[in-house]
Amino acid sequence: KNEVEQSPQNLTAQEGEFITINCSYSVGISALHWLQQHPGGGIVSLFMLSSGKKKHGRLIATINIQEKHSSLHITASHPRDSAVYICAVHENYNTDKLIFGTGTRLQVFP
Amino acid sequence: NAGVTQTPKFQVLKTGQSMTLQCAQDMNHNSMYWYRQDPGMGLRLIYYSASEGTTDKGEVPNGYNVSRLNKREFSLRLESAAPSQTSVYFCASKFGNYEQYFGPGTRLTVT
């Protein structure tokens, strides 16, 4: 069964800083997901990626399949980016059941 | 499109009571999921349904039952609630190999 580790668990930043959140997993996968959980509790999917890099606005997600590692970057961080960021991977190649990390809590101060 | 909706938003139960959490999606998605989220732990899968008429156990199914009533609706039932089932419950759905869409969550407290 896949295991997912995220780091750091908590992160504080000043507005404008470049943010990096890391995710490592133990078993080869078909895809990795990054999700954002707002302070109010709602969860939205940010990225689903199986190789390389994806960009959406100020968010960039990268994945290294050989090293079983992914990073989520936020450029020019803003207080509205304050949220919990969650990494999730498929349990194994043969299922679409997801295993979730415990999340990284980000606070961006003005 | 309302997306994924869940009812109720909040619920308090006494130990031993039963209740059903409702979930519906209007995106014509095939797959639907129920998760629970507890402090310090990642989301954990309770049950999922790959298509109408099928359901399968996830990581933590004990104490729960599910019904995939039709393509839109997937309900989660607690037959005899226990304090260990105090949690936030999320329903999600997806189409094919794409990302999951989550409902707003139900905060359940069992006293």
Encode pLDDT of B64-81 as tens digits.
999 998 999 999 999 999
Give the separation between CA B26 and CA B67, rounded to whole angstroms.
17
Q: In which band, very low, low, confident or very high, does the pLDDT at B98 lie, cut at 50, 70 and 90?
A: confident
Chain B contact for A23 (CB, 8 A cutoff): no
CB contact under 8 A, A43 and B88: no
Tell me the per-residue pLDDT of A23-78, one tens digit each, with 9 for 90 and over: 999 987 888 999 999 988 899 999 999 999 999 999 999 999 999 999 999 999 99
pLDDT of A95 reads 76
CB contact under 8 A, B105 and A96: no
Chain B contact for A49 (CB, 8 A cutoff): no
Burial B52-90 (b: 16+ CB within 10 A, else e): eeebeebebbeebebebeebbbbbbebeebeeebbbebb
Q: In which band, very low, low, confident or very high, does the pLDDT at A92 lie, cut at 50, 70 and 90?
A: confident
> What backbone phi and psi angles, to 5 degrees, belong to A81?
-80, -10
Q: In which band, very low, low, confident or very high, does the pLDDT at A93 lie, cut at 50, 70 and 90?
A: low
Chain B contact for A7 (CB, 8 A cutoff): no
Q: A–B: how many Cβ contacts below 8 A?
A: 45
